[in-house]
Structure 1
Amino acid sequence: MALDSPRLLRADAARNAEKIIRAAREVFTEQGPDAHLDDVARRAGVGAATLFRRFPDKAALLRAVLDQRFAENVRPAIQTAAHHPDPASGLAHVLEAALESVAGDYNVLAAARSAGVLTPATGQEFFAALDALLARGQHTGAIRADLVPDDLHRIVVMLVSVLWTMEPREDGWRRYLALVLDGLTPTGARPLPCPAPPPHCTPAHPDTEADAGHPAVPGLSSSARSSPRARRAKPSVCVCVVSRATASSRSRRDTPPRWRSP
């Protein structure tokens, strides 16, 4: 029995980590960036010391939550799309899975943004997969030939920004995804009017965005920038190192809406 003890301890630690990650997703979904780790420990049914032994701070826990959600929701779609006989359908499947995940985990992403978890590396696997799917689709003629990877990256940011204009857990975003997907096909496509602009990073203004806790789609740069007044008035997108939707037609002054579970 003594020989098996380390193995049993490792299994117990793995079970506790799984319970903590699941509980964290629930608590951050309900409370957003203001969630406390003590609440997570209580929800998981473990002591605070157990939680902090595995996850020393909020950022470490949120990284684990995002990794798990990506592994469960997006990576399987990427793997399926890589072997899909229709590259355009495969790309559509990946975009749908990603947007569905963002919509379902909006407050988790807000907390991750607030904790400084979202970095260029966060979205590297996702955007690399999009680039490969785009190239495959263009090679077979299923996707218009004049798109470049930056176009597709920016389209993802545009689609995520739509979530600020509606209840994210509703399916309204699917309408705009369908419109975008029609625009990616070569059928009836008109030539694009100019080359894709080069990526550009505009630092976040410390008084308007650094602590705002806006959700993000990691891995992009963009030249989009809106003033605080414009951010309060209409949806916009601002991206620096990571891309993030930064406005809502119904947002409060400097605090984004946090959608609570019923």
Structure 2
Amino acid sequence: MHVQPRRADAQRNSARVVRAAILAFEEVGAAVSLDEVAQRAGVGIATLYRLFGGRDGLIREAFTTFFVEEVEPLALAARAAEDPGDALATALVRTLDAFATHRVLLGIARETGAVTVTVAERYLHQLGDVLVAAQRAGRVRPDITVRDLAAVVVMALATARADDPANADPRRYLALLMAGMRPSDDPLPPPASTGFGARATRDSRDCTSA
């Protein structure tokens, strides 16, 4: 009878700590202490460690929350748009813009390994239907996969810098990468037979059969 209330309390505490951390990272910087995060959330430092195991765990959860609340809705909105080609491009650009408002979180998430192609793919999988529709409309080359989209985002984000508040470089290189997604008579080189490439090949077959 007493287990469920404790679980509910833990969920509420976890949500408060994550939101406090996201704000603290942007307002104070990457060096903000866990003590300050706990104080902002109204919990003890022991509760923070119990919930997240430490700084890296908190960063990963903050980054995941950001993706769920600010990136996933962009992909979902793209599915409702009339022009799949424009919708796909808009979703990718707005994803970069969302990161621009959380530049510090992006930086520390990189340092802890929270930003990977696998993570980006997990939250961009809603773009799969949009990608297939854009391919059928002749707007995107047929050998592009959702995992390729995730890689494009991660590569563009790699150019983000603190002294580029307008996100000019990531936007530039995203545009360059997206230009390579346009239909072409020249096929892409085949992916590797294991690891990242093998996953991309399976994704490509799934898109083709969709």
Length-normalised TM-score, structure 1: 0.59
Counting helix residues as a fraction of each chain, which structure ranks higher? 2
Q: Residue in 1 aligned with 2:202? A: none
Give 1:178 shift: 8.4
CA contact (8 A) 1:96 1:177 kept: no
Q: CA deviation at 1:139?
A: 0.7
Give 1:137 shift: 0.3
Q: Does 1:144 align with 2:128?
A: no
Return the match for 1:52 from 46, 49, 53: 49
Partner of 1:89: 86
Partner of 2:19: 22
Contiguous gaps of at least 5 residues in structure 1: 200-219, 222-262
Percent sequence identity is 30
Shift of 1:87: 0.7
Report how far residue 73 of structure 1 moved: 0.6
Contact 1:144–1:184 (CA<8 Å) still a contact in 2? Answer: no
Does residue 1:31 correspond to 2:22, yes or no?
no
- Does structure 1 retain, via aligned residues, the 8 Å contact 2:93–2:174? no
Matches within 5 A, 1:91-130: 91-130=88-127
CA 1:86 to 1:65, structure 2 compared with 1: closer, same or farther past 3 Å?
same
**RMSD across aligned positions (CA):** 3.6
For residues 184 and 132 of structure 1, the distance between their equivalents in structure 2, rounded to whole angstroms, comes to 20
Instruction: Write out aligned runs for 1:182-197 (5 A).
Output: 183=179, 191=184, 195-196=188-189
- Tell me which of 147, 164, 189 is aligned to 2:161: 164
For the residues of structure 1 that align with 2:162 and 2:62, how far apart are their CA atoms?
Answer: 25
- Give yes or no for contact 1:41–1:47 (8 Å, CA) kept in 2: yes
Q: Is the 8 A contact 2:29 2:104 kept in 1?
A: yes
SS at match of 1:163: coil
Shift of 1:177: 7.3
Q: Which amino acid in the other structure matches residue 48 of structure 1?
A: I
SS of aligned partner of 1:92: helix
Normalising by structure 2, report the TM-score.
0.71
Q: Say which SS state the counterpart of residue 164 (structure 1) adopts.
A: coil
Correspondence for 1:71: 68
Q: Secondary structure at the match of 2:188?
A: coil
Cα distance in 1, alignment partners of residues 56 and 91 from structure 2: 26
Contact 2:21–2:62 (CA under 8 A) maintained in structure 1? yes
Rounded to whole Å, the distance in 1 between the matches of 2:76 and 2:88 is: 11
Contact in 1 for aligned 2:71/2:98 (Cα 8 Å): yes
Distance 1:59 1:51 in 2: 12
The runs of 5 or more residues in structure 2 that have no matched partner are: 198-210
What SS does the corresponding residue of 2:53 show, helix, strand or coil?
coil
Query: Is 1:62 aligned to residue 56 of structure 2?
Result: no
Amino acid at match of 1:80: A
Q: In structure 2, do the counterparts of structure 1 residues 63 and 84 end up closer, same or farther at CA, with 3 Å as the change threshold?
A: same
Task: Tell me the equivalent position of 2:40.
Answer: 43
